[in-house]
Amino acid sequence: MPAHERLTAAIVTANDDNRPALVPFITAGYPEPGEFINTLRAIAEVGDVIELGIPFSDPMADGMTIQRSSYVALQEGVSLEWIFGELEMAGVLGTPLVMMSYLNPLLAFGYERLAERARATGVCAFIVPDLPYEECEELRQALEKEGLGLIQLVTPATPRERLKMLCDASRGFVYAVTITGITGGDAGLPDDLADYLDDVASVAEIPVCAGFGIRGPDDVANVARHAAGAIVGSALVEVLEEGRDPKAFLRTLGGK
Amino acid sequence: MKSQLGADEARFLLEAQINGELPDERGRFGPFGGRYVPETLVPAFERLEEGVRRYLHDREFQHDYRRELREWVGRPTALSHAPQLSERWGTDVWLKREDLAHTGAHKINNAIGQALLAKRLGAKRVIAETGAGQHGVASAAACARVGLPCSVYMGAVDIERQAPNVDRMNRLGAEVVAVETGDKTLRAAIDEALRNWVTDPSGIYYLLGSAVGAHPYPYLVRELQSVIGLEARQQMISQAGGLPDVVFACVGGGSNAIGLFYPLLADDIELVGVEAGGTGDGLGENAATLATGTPGVLQGSYTMILQDGDGQVQETHSISAGLDYSGVGPEHALLQATGRVRYVSASDDESLAALEELCETEGILTALETSHAYAAARKWSQENPGKRVLIGNSGRGDKDMPTLTKYPARIRTHARA
Ligand SMILES: Cc1ncc(COP(=O)(O)O)c(C=O)c1O
């Protein structure tokens, strides 16, 4: 089965267990490159799918927390090449991985090589926040050759016809951005979130995971009634930043 | 994605460009350009593109735009002969005086055009980025003129070195937002403006200041700045007795250069874009994107950028805030690939010396950005005596006083030498 279907299966398994899939996000190699694999193993025990952020110099869709973690990781020499090397050494994690990267590091790496290395290291799909559907064909094809998916993002600003197109094009899951804004906001989830997520779910034929602004157990519970999974990014990165235990934090949110 | 062109393809693309067929419907200038933006902004870009299609060449819009250019900006700007400089250089030197436009640089041509567009699109407020502060001041003034609130994102480094412009923006009613992230210069300011735009894509109009970014900005800015080249072409014929042999313009994002070059593409004129050579050739020592960069995606567009082998965008250095940028407009990337425009660089020191020489010979304090064009034109003149030279004098240098006062001794030495 193509790798992106493993992703879908992991989410469905969680839902069959009567709980939302928990998708922790970390910036790869942050805060300590030496701790990367240990951190990954720890969160793999709780998370159903792991989203790995590839640091980039111009994270235009990210708030302060992820900007900061990206900056530090780059200072520490973290690169795609290094990340793949670490994943190869770590061996099979058991939990499917998704990579979140801005386009330019992927372009520089080369799409074909990217897809091969990704498949070989347990990466099932990519999320590329600055690659809208209209520009994605070349990358989508390269990934598809290796059975990898390109996950599409939808937002509250996405018009209805476009929503259908994006949901149909997405592989693994559909990433529903909860807010009109960047990551790391603490303004809380919008009041009309339920209607929006229900809308996306009604259009999508694969599971929908909600992300942006999900910080604690209440947010996860709030989202769980209307989406198959919850993506937790900035809040987890802050836990790592403060040197707290990521596994303990994720346990407060659910997970496997 | 590819970036090299075969000879046939280059000819074909240049012809398409001259015929006004670029960008294509996907926002491409050959391989360059496109629209690489977060999904939240896609509908906003589609609305903007629709608005540009509907209004930009519409009679009523053009009527309002031209009236503002004439009665408020003060166009046409003068074409000045530079007799002393001509004598020194051994060429016949002419200056297109964008420094005489309202607020002191070419930036106003674009700002008032986009402000009129924002009004028609029903925007509630305007955001803009600025490097040198000239686009910030122009946006502040244009927004006051059309009655829209304006916030300007500006890197902390630039706030310090372009202090006079910060005060001007405030007085013109704009809010100046200091950007402390990233490299704290123009690139960080654009990132931060984009982050803000994402919070209210339907209420905010993003008034981008150069011919960069995602489609349709490079096209929109070119169209609004082409007035420079259209005027200069006519003025050269009537005042100088013919078209120039060569034209120089400085290139940051590339808006004054594309505005001057675009109407001259079909003519038999050598076109030279001048980037910031900074203090040296190493990565991080300059902002010579076309000369030393490689293709990549930055801030919405596939173009030439300064990056390392991992695709991380590199910090730049230039004495001039307006050229201190790691990317460049995609249309310039194409003009370089087809060979129609040659791109060179001038160092910080050469530009400072050129600034001083212009002050002394013609009584014009030009902007540090603009000085780069003079430095390159001066060199060219030494090898091409007797030719007719046109320089795009993109802006005035009053804003650069905080930087210039740091170099008094050096400048005096140059002047005496
Ligand atoms: C006077 C002047 N010239 C040139 C530039 C560079 O911008 P562009 O390359 O878009 O003309 C600036 C930018 O701030 C400027 O203020």
Assign residue A92 the CATH number of its domain.
Answer: 3.20.20.70
**Residue at A16 is within a domain:** yes
d(CA A224, CA A18): 10
Q: Evaluate if residue B415 carries a pLDDT over 90.
A: no
**What pLDDT was estimated at residue B373?**
99
Residue of A74, A107, A182 lying closest to B195 (CB–CB): A182
Residue B122: enclosing H or E segment and its boundaries? none
A51, A58, A134, A144: the active-site residue:
A51
B68, B86, B107, B318: the active-site residue:
B107
| Best residue among B95, B103, B107 to mutate for probing ligand 1, ranked by most atoms within 8 Å of CB | B107
pTM of the model: 0.97
**Residue at A250 is within a domain:** no
Average pLDDT over every residue of B190-203: 95
Average pLDDT over every residue of B30-58: 97
Model confidence pLDDT, tens digit, residues B304-331: 999 999 999 999 999 999 999 999 999 9
d(CA B99, CA B105): 5
**Residue at A251 is within a domain:** no
Report CB contact under 8 Å: A109, B300: no
Count of the separate structural domains present in chain A: 1
Which residues touch A245 (CB under 8 Å, ≥6 apart)?
A: A42, A239
> Which of these, A200, A118, A205, A216, lies nearest to A160 by C-alpha position?
A200
Residue of A67, A130, A180 lying closest to B199 (CB–CB): A180
H helix intervals, A77-233 = 80-90, 103-109, 111-120, 137-145, 160-169, 193-203, 217-224
| Domains assigned to chain B | 25-69+107-222 (3.40.50.1100), 74-104+226-404 (3.40.50.1100)
> Which of these, B219, B218, B214, lies nearest to B301 by C-alpha position?
B214
How many whole angstroms from B323 Cα to the centroid of ligand 1? 7
Q: Evaluate if residue B409 carries a pLDDT over 90.
A: no
Residue of A107, A157, A182 lying closest to B297 (CB–CB): A107
What is the percentage of chain B residues whose pLDDT exceeds 90? 94
pLDDT band at B412 (very low <50, low <70, confident <90, very high): low
Q: How far is A247 from chain B (nearest CA, A)?
A: 30
Q: Which residues of chain A have pLDDT under 70?
A: none
Q: Evaluate if residue B163 carries a pLDDT over 80.
A: yes
How many Cβ pairs closer than 8 A exist between chain A and B?
Answer: 111
Which domain, by its residues, includes A57?
Answer: 3-244
How many whole angstroms from B174 Cα to the centroid of ligand 1? 20
Q: How far is B42 from chain A (nearest CA, A)?
A: 8
B129, B231, B285, B369: the active-site residue:
B129
Q: Which position has the higher pLDDT, B408 or A91?
A: A91
Chain B contact set for A109 (CB, 8 A): 310-311
String of b and e for A155-170 (b: at least 16 CB within 10 Å)? bbbbeeebbeebbeeb
Contact A173, A8 (CB under 8 A): yes
Nearest residue on chain B to A71, judged by CA atoms? B182
- For residue B341, list its beta bridge partners: B271
Q: Evaluate if residue B416 carries a pLDDT over 70.
A: no
**Residue at A96 is within a domain:** yes
d(CA B374, CA B352): 10
Model confidence pLDDT, tens digit, residues B374-397: 999 999 999 999 999 999 999 999
Q: Is this complex's ipTM strictly greater than 0.90?
A: yes
The protein residue with its alpha carbon nearest to ligand 1, atom 5, reads B322
Nearest residue on chain A to B41, judged by CA atoms? A157
Q: How far is B110 from chain A (nearest CA, A)?
A: 24
Report CB contact under 8 Å: A155, B307: no
**What pLDDT was estimated at residue B417?**
42
